[in-house]
Chains A and B, each alone.
Chain A
Amino acid sequence: MTPRDRRAVFLGAAVVGLAVLVLRLAPAAARAHAAARDGLAARSALLARMRADLAETKRLEDSGAVIRRRLASLAPAVLAGRSAADAGADLASHLAVAADRQGVRLTRTEPLPDSALGGGLGRVTLRATLESDGVGVVGLLRALAEADAVMVVDAVRLEVADPLVPRRRPELVRGDLTVSGWYLERGEPR
C-alpha cells in the first residue's frame, strides 16, 4: 500500500468516523444530556416544592389551631347523627320542640331529597306542614333562626283564611316550611 493509498484510507475512515460522530453520537448525546438536565430540573422543582411545604408547617399549625377553635365553637350548630336519616330525625326533633314552644301545630313532616355537601358536611331537608296563628308562625321562624343548631328556612308558604269573610274562629294560618340543617357526613373532622 503506497503512502497515497494509506492517506486515502485514513481520510475515508476519518470522514466516516466524523459522520458517525456528528450524525449519530452527537445527537444521541445531546438528547441524553437534555433528558438528564430536564430530569434534574424537574426533581429540583419537586424538591423546592417539598421544602416550601415544610416551611409552611408553622403556618399550618397556627391555622389549624384557629380553625379547631372555630369548629369547637360551632359544634352545637351541627345536627346529631352520622347519616342523613339520623340527622333528619334530629332536625325533625328540633323543629317539633320549637313548634311546640310557639304553639304551632305540625301536622306533617316529610324529608326531601337533598344531596348538597359542604366541606365534609351533608345537608338534610324537611318539609313541615303547620297550623297556627300569625304570631305563632313568626315565633317559630324566630326560634329556628336563633337556635343553637343551624336550621335554615329555605322556603315558607302560608295561607290565611279570607279576612273579608265573617267567621267565628280566630285567625288561622296554614302552610308549610322547608327547613334544612347540616350534619357531619364522615364523622368528626380530623
Chain B
Amino acid sequence: MRLRVGRGRARAELVGGGAALWAAEVEFASVGELGVAVAALLVRDDLPARPGAVRFEIEPPLAQLRTLGGLPPVRPDQLRELVATQSGRFFRRNGHPLVTDAAWTLADRRTRGPAMAAAVEEPWVETLVDGARTAGVPVLAIEPAGLPADVSLDLVPPTERRRRRAHTLVGVRRLAFAVAMVWVAAGAVYLARLSHERAAVEREIAGLATPVAAVQRARRALGATAGIVETLERERAARGAVLGSLAGLIAALPDSDFATALTLDATGSGEVSLVARRSSEVIAALETSAAVVSPRIAGAVMRESVAGRDRERFTIAFGGGSR
C-alpha cells in the first residue's frame, strides 16, 4: 500500500499488478489526528485485501527536499552523517528535531552529481510509524514525494531504525543459533552413527569370536598335519638317492676296473677310489654316463704293474665337493 501524506490530507492507494485497486482519502488537523487517520486507513473495511506493507510518501512542505552542491566527496554513509549533523544548515527547523537522509545523484553513468537530501520533522514520521504499528502493518519505507527515480531516500525515524536494527540483530542471532544447532545436531548424529556402527561391529565380532577361533585352531592343526605329510612325502621321494647314485656309478664303471673305497651321501657327493687301466677312461665314462655330477681326479694318480699289466690307482671326487 502506498500512503501519501500532504498538508492536512492523507491518501491511501492499494496497488496490485501495477494498477490501483483501491483508494481512500482522509483529512487531519494535527499530528495526533494523523496517527489515528493512518491507522484507520490501513484497516478500512472496504479494503479488498489486508495490505502486506505500507510505503509512506510525504509531500512538501511536511518533507523538505534539497539538492546540495559543493559537498566534499565522501562515502554515502558519511554523506548521511554529514547531512544529519548539519541539518540546521540545510533545512528549516520549527523547533522539532529532523529526520534526514541523503544520497549522491549521478550526473551520468560514471560521474557523481550533487547530493540530494530530504528532511521531515520527527513527530510526523513517528506518528506515521505509530499509526502503521497500531494497524499491524509493517512500514516498508518513508520517503519524500517527488524523488527522482535513481535516488532512494528513507526517512524512517531513529526509533524505528533502532527497532529494525534490533529486529535484524535478533533475526541474525536466531539464524546463527539455528545454524549452530544444526551443526551440533549434525555432529551429534555423526557421533551417534559412529558409536552405533562401532557397537554393531563389536557385537558381530563377539558373535563370531568362537566359530572363528575354532576355524583358526582347525587351520593350525591342518597346517601341522600338512607339514607332516609334506615331510614324509619329501623324504620318501629322496630316500632312494644314495642307491640311485651307487647304481649309476656301478653301471658307468668299466668291468675291468676295481673300486676299493666309496663314500657317498644323499646329495650325490662323494669319492670313489679305483684301480683301473686309465684314469682318463674312467673320467670319460663317468662323464658320458652322467651317473655322477662333475667327476674329477682327487689327488695323485699312482701307476703300478700287476701281473705284467699296467694299472693306475686313483681317486675320483664327484658332486658338490671332495672330501
Contact = CB atoms under 8 A, between A and B. Distances in A.
B243 interface: yes
B243 A141 contact: yes
B126 to A, nearest CB: 22
Nearest to A69: B229
B261 A36 contact: no
A31 interface: no
Contacts of A63: 222, 226
Contacts of B202: 43
B261 A158 contact: yes
B311 interface: yes
A53 B216 contact: yes
A39 B198 CA distance: 8
Nearest to B238: A152
B243 A119 contact: no
Nearest to A45: B201
Contacts, number: 161
Given A51-B208, A60-B222, A156 B262 contact: yes
Prevailing SS type, chain B contact patch: helix
Contact of B229 (A71, A141, A184): A71
Contact of B215 (A54, A120, A138, A142): A54
Please classify how large the interface on chain A is, using the bins under 10, 10 to 19, 20 to 34, 35 or more: 35 or more
Interface residues of B, number: 53
Contacts of B239: 144-145, 150-153
B260 A162 contact: yes
Contacts of A37: 194
Contact of A159 (B197, B258, B260): B260
A71 B221 CA distance: 13
A60 to B, nearest CB: 6
A153 B247 CA distance: 14
Interface in B272-323: 275, 304, 306, 311
Given A152-B239, A163-B260, A118 B228 contact: yes
Interface in B81-138: none
B224 A43 contact: no
Contact of B230 (A119, A150, A189): A119
A119 B228 CA distance: 5
Contact of B194 (A40, A50, A150): A40
A155 B225 contact: no
A93 interface: no
B236 interface: yes
Nearest to B208: A50
Interface stretch (B2-10, B53-61, B66-74, B263-271): B263-271
A25 to B, nearest CB: 12
A145 B264 CA distance: 15
Contacts of A74: 228-229, 232-233, 236
B205 interface: yes
A56 interface: yes
Contacts of B240: 145
B170 interface: no
Interface string A113-124: 000001111000
B77 interface: no
Contact of A160 (B260, B263, B304): B260
Nearest to B304: A164
B222 A64 contact: yes
Q: Which of A144, A152, A160 has the most CB of B within 10 A?
A: A152
A54 B218 contact: no
Contacts of A182: 231-232, 235
B271 to A, nearest CB: 10
A157 interface: yes
B259 interface: yes
Contacts of A119: 223-231
Nearest to B217: A190
6 contacts: A53-B216, A145-B243, A152-B238, A155-B263, A156-B264, A164-B275
The 5 closest A-B pairs by CB, nearest first: A119-B227, A118-B231, A163-B258, A145-B240, A155-B265
Given A64-B225, A77-B232, 17 more contacts: A47-B208, A51-B208, A56-B215, A67-B226, A70-B229, A119-B230, A141-B242, A145-B239, A145-B240, A145-B243, A153-B266, A154-B242, A155-B264, A155-B266, A156-B263, A164-B258, A189-B224
Interface of B: 191, 194, 197-198, 201-202, 204-205, 208-209, 211-212, 215-216, 218-219, 221-233, 235-236, 238-243, 246-247, 250, 258-266, 275, 304, 306, 311
Interface of A: 36-37, 39-40, 43-44, 46-47, 50-51, 53-54, 56-57, 60, 63-64, 67-68, 70-71, 74, 77-78, 118-121, 138, 141-142, 144-145, 150-160, 162-164, 175, 182, 184, 189-190
